[in-house]
Structure 1
Amino acid sequence: MPTIENLSAPVTIDVKSSQPQIQVLNPEDGSLVGTVVNNSLSEVDSIIEVAVLGAQKAKKLSSNIRMSVLNEVADNLSNQKELFAQMIAREGIKTINEARKEVSRCVETIRISAEEARRLTGETIAFDQAPGSENRFGYYRRIPLGVVAAITPFNDPLNLVAHKIGPAIAAGNSVIILPHHETPLVAKLLVELFNKTNLPKGILNLVTGYGVDIGDKIVSDPRINMVSFTGGKSVGERILSHVGLKKVSMELGSNCPVIVMNDANIELAMEACVSGAFWAAGQNCLHVQRIYIQDELYDQFASEFCLRASKISMGDKLSESTQMGPMINNRAALKVEAMVKDALEKNSTLLCGGKRQGNFFQPTVFANVSNDCLIAKEEVFGPITVLYRFTDKKEAIAQANDVEFGLQAGIFTNDLELAFELADSMDCGGVMINDSSDYRIDAMPFGGVKGSGVGREGVMNAVKEMTDIKTYCFNLRK
């Protein structure tokens, strides 16, 4: 069983949303990490007005200034990596080593954003292709939308904030960032880095509060020109019902599958899948939740996967030896526990784990899971992975696609033709060949199909989402 070192049940404090401040608690032990303002609706209204004025300033900023600001922030963040990593680990779910990797990715995200500011170009248009338009000449260019409202989750509290702020500024917009109320401190630190540059006031605006109280106000306000949201499917659906006629980009999670063929490099697949299954305690939209293993490899893979899962150490997030941290709160831990109970009641086979202690939940592996189990169809967002045996590739593809989500998938095979065939058959936004579903770089297009969202992130794509195309045509007839 996974080792649980020096754990105690976290203190649970019921913070009412009417209080003027939000207490940010360490989910490991319930200790106070810091506080942020709990913005009222009237304060949010004032911030939106500031952002509207900021949008007028932003669209006049040269690409040179946008690039300069973003590169300066990336440099300063790189020089303060440990400070930011410590904050990520203290207020959130990540171990210190996971947090350090997130900071490094954030630096890269902001640097890519700076590069995309220089690439925000248009094209000439051959108007003379139409009869009667021989004397016309024109082009299109990308122009900023105005005010972008960005709402981010707790699981990547720094890099996902950067994925909103960086592209918004690169595209010439103002932005209002609403970080998750349980992990707002590192977002605040990042905003402070921007405030130390020559970025004009009002272009970057931080709102802190509970989404249930102020979210509807932000997304429905007609002064907001775009909503960029990363989070759960149910909240995404609520936003869509309130947002009105404006641009929307949403990344809404998944139930990611991985297919392991008989000819796969089993060590490569094992290492990638264990990491993808239990990184950030499974609280990751790319979490490896379902693994389909062909007959010849199944027994060996299942045995080794459970052995490695059972050796994962949990405990002090700031310890260099800790491999997995807690769930974000007691409610999340109890949800995972309920999913385990549901699977057991429906005669699933528990291969390892399955126990909760406070907010910590052991790496858990199931087999023989029927389709009526919650862990088969829903997004667990916790450290649970289900193993399936299959014989025929068509069977694996059909089962892998048989969920309401479609963010990313992984395929392990040494057969190139088979890799193309399987990849083309997967209903998702991205397929990783000889990597798990959890692989991503910040420059690639990122998003899903079905219940996994609308639009694409990844810096270049986000910049395009955060602009409109404007066409110019000159009639040069003499």
Structure 2
Amino acid sequence: MKIQFAGRKMLVAGQWMDRERVIEVRDPQDNSLIDTVPAASVHDMLQCIEEAKEGARIAASMPVHERIAVINKAADHIEANNEKYTYTISREGSKTIREARGEVDRCIQTLRISAEEARRIHGETIPFDQRPGSENRVGYYYHVPIGIVGAITPFNDPLNLVAHKVGPAIASGNAIIVKPASATPLSALLLAEAFAEAGLPSKILSVITGYGHEIGDALVTHPAIRMISFTGGLEAGEEITRKAGLKKISMELGSNSPVIVLEDADLQEAIEASVSGAFSAAGQNCLSVQRIYMHKSLVTSFQEGFVERTKQFSIGDKQSELTDMGPLINEKEAIRVERLVEEALDKGAELLEGGIREGAFYSPTVLTNIPEDCTIAKEEIFGPVVLLYPVADLETAIEKANDVRYGLQAGIFTNDVRKVHMAIEKLDVGGIMINDSSDYRIDAMPFGGMKNSGLGREGIKFSIKEMTETKVVCYKL
């Protein structure tokens, strides 16, 4: 018997709409059908943009206290429906129920911070009399909304990464159109539901579901869209940059994150943090630990401890409170990771643990003796695979850590403050975590990378800066 699903509607300029053509949302664990969402057309996107023009005018005229109230009410709604949001994240994505619960908590915090930062969008006075002949001038600058923000979000944090774009956009008085990942649109629609319940005026927020290759260009290239905020892969980011035209672009494009473990490190702390950083969310995290450079004196002890802790990492049912890691987002991605590992093994890498695929599940995998010409050594894996390298000293570790085209975050374990500051100065990354893995972030900090890891910075205060323009005012007295 065919099961009939009611289907979720998308939010287009304050109106919940469905379409005859739909996208199936499936649980990657067993490929079961969770729900359907509309497959929007280019016409839908263009209509949405036209409505957002009015939304931008409404948003810009909202007093700051109203923006604060709406964002906090949306956070209240999510808090009151925590388990609904948690269950949705875990069903449609790769996260375990514990990981999903953590994401909901972070989303609430992201919105609370957005509400707070709305009251801190300050300008400054300008001493115009610093120039001879301008003694009779006074003035200042302040920040104004950019207009309409186009946001494209990935599957791996389907709620909080959307909140990281929506919260700052509303806080700074903009309209925003979100195109969530086709694999995980339900969490984004629930976020839209929270803002609708909070009383956000219609036309300010849209969450339009559809295939990127069908509706993405209409969003990216439209001249009314004044900023594109994108989180995703490097190739897609490069394509968006070529097509976008004259508008602001903010991009978080992933990484190949290194961790350095020196001879004076707390070994158990380094192992525990690095195992979690490598395999949480099935390694589908831009901050995920991918390369570990361990001092040569630690090779045996670190490798043995790391493998032993990896073996304890439980894989299985996402809904179980005992599960540490679920599947990848789909079987296709698991096969991609499997092929990367097989290429490395064919070229001489040594498998210390894992390397087993069952459907969309891929076991936590540890490799060593990895040849430099392997794809896995240079590119983002975006899966539960970590590479172990012995190094003679910190200088060598830094050189090797920098020898990729990415630079998002890094971790270093040491109690030598001089070595810490050498790493801070010389690592080409946007963030350095001391005595922690690369996989650490709070939602208030500036977040972004160097090289091909992205453009600009996220983190609420910093996103708001990206989403506003600076206007100068000068009075001649």
* TM range, smaller chain: over 0.9
Number of residue equivalences: 459
Name which of structure 1's ranges 252-261 and 289-298 shifts more when overlaid on structure 2: 289-298
Cα deviation, 1:353-411, whole Å, max 9, x if unaligned, reads 00100000000000000110111001000000000001121111110000000000000
Cα deviation, 1:292-333, whole Å, max 9, x if unaligned, reads 000121211111111111222111100111110101012111
Cα deviation, 1:149-190, whole Å, max 9, x if unaligned, reads 000000000000000000000010000011100000011011
**CA offset at residue 80 of structure 1?**
1.3
**CA offset at residue 438 of structure 1?**
0.2
CA RMSD of aligned residues (A): 0.9
Q: How does 1:434-453 map to 2 (within 5 A)?
A: 434-453=435-454
Q: How does 1:150-161 map to 2 (within 5 A)?
A: 150-161=151-162
Residue in 1 that maps onto 2:318 = 317
Residue in 2 that maps onto 1:264 = 265
Residue in 2 that maps onto 1:293 = 294
Cα separation, 2, equivalents of 1:125 and 1:97: 50
**CA offset at residue 418 of structure 1?**
1.2
Residue in 2 that maps onto 1:13 = none
- Contact 2:261–2:413 (Cα < 8 Å) also in 1: yes
Cα separation, 2, equivalents of 1:422 and 1:282: 24
Residue in 2 that maps onto 1:242 = 243
Q: How does 1:39-438 map to 2 (within 5 A)?
A: 39-438=40-439
AA paired with 2:458?
Answer: E
Identity in percent: 55
**CA offset at residue 19 of structure 1?**
7.3
Partner SS for 1:323 = coil
Cα separation, 1, equivalents of 2:246 and 2:358: 46
Residue ranges of structure 2 left out of the alignment (5+ in a row): 1-18
Cα deviation, 1:21-70, whole Å, max 9, x if unaligned, reads 00100000000111111100001100011111100000001110000001
Cα separation, 2, equivalents of 1:438 and 1:170: 27
Cα separation, 1, equivalents of 2:450 and 2:35: 38
Residue in 2 that maps onto 1:10 = none
AA paired with 2:25?
Answer: V
Partner SS for 1:198 = coil
Partner SS for 1:229 = strand
Residue ranges of structure 1 left out of the alignment (5+ in a row): 1-17
Cα separation, 2, equivalents of 1:451 and 1:389: 26
Name which of structure 1's ranges 407-416 and 307-316 shifts more when overlaid on structure 2: 307-316
Runs of 4+ in 1 over 3 A off after TM superposition: none
AA paired with 1:470?
Answer: K
Cα separation, 2, equivalents of 1:341 and 1:220: 39
AA paired with 2:105?
Answer: S
- Contact 2:394–2:419 (Cα < 8 Å) also in 1: no
- Contact 1:411–1:423 (Cα < 8 Å) also in 2: no
- Contact 1:93–1:327 (Cα < 8 Å) also in 2: yes
- Contact 2:350–2:369 (Cα < 8 Å) also in 1: yes
Cα separation, 2, equivalents of 1:237 and 1:19: 33
Cα deviation, 1:223-246, whole Å, max 9, x if unaligned, reads 100000000000000100110000
AA paired with 1:290?
Answer: R
AA paired with 1:401?
Answer: N
AA paired with 1:249?
Answer: S
- Contact 1:70–1:166 (Cα < 8 Å) also in 2: yes
AA paired with 1:416?
Answer: V
Cα separation, 2, equivalents of 1:80 and 1:299: 48
**CA offset at residue 248 of structure 1?**
0.3
Cα deviation, 1:104-147, whole Å, max 9, x if unaligned, reads 00000000000110001100000011111101010000000000
Partner SS for 1:375 = helix
Cα deviation, 1:212-269, whole Å, max 9, x if unaligned, reads 1111110000010000000000000010011000000000000000000000011111
Cα separation, 2, equivalents of 1:19 and 1:153: 25
**CA offset at residue 198 of structure 1?**
2.3
- Contact 2:272–2:309 (Cα < 8 Å) also in 1: no
Cα separation, 2, equivalents of 1:185 and 1:170: 23
Cα separation, 2, equivalents of 1:146 and 1:385: 42
Name which of structure 1's ranges 452-461 and 305-314 shifts more when overlaid on structure 2: 305-314
Cα separation, 1, equivalents of 2:153 and 2:23: 17
Residue in 2 that maps onto 1:456 = 457
- Contact 2:153–2:230 (Cα < 8 Å) also in 1: yes
AA paired with 1:328?
Answer: I
AA paired with 1:444?
Answer: M
Partner SS for 1:313 = coil
- Contact 2:261–2:295 (Cα < 8 Å) also in 1: yes
- Contact 1:148–1:176 (Cα < 8 Å) also in 2: yes
Partner SS for 1:33 = strand
AA paired with 2:128?
Answer: F
Partner SS for 1:257 = strand
Cα separation, 1, equivalents of 2:198 and 2:420: 47
Partner SS for 1:468 = strand
Residue in 1 that maps onto 2:23 = 22
Partner SS for 1:326 = coil
Cα separation, 1, equivalents of 2:181 and 2:220: 15
Cα separation, 1, equivalents of 2:156 and 2:424: 28
Partner SS for 2:61 = coil
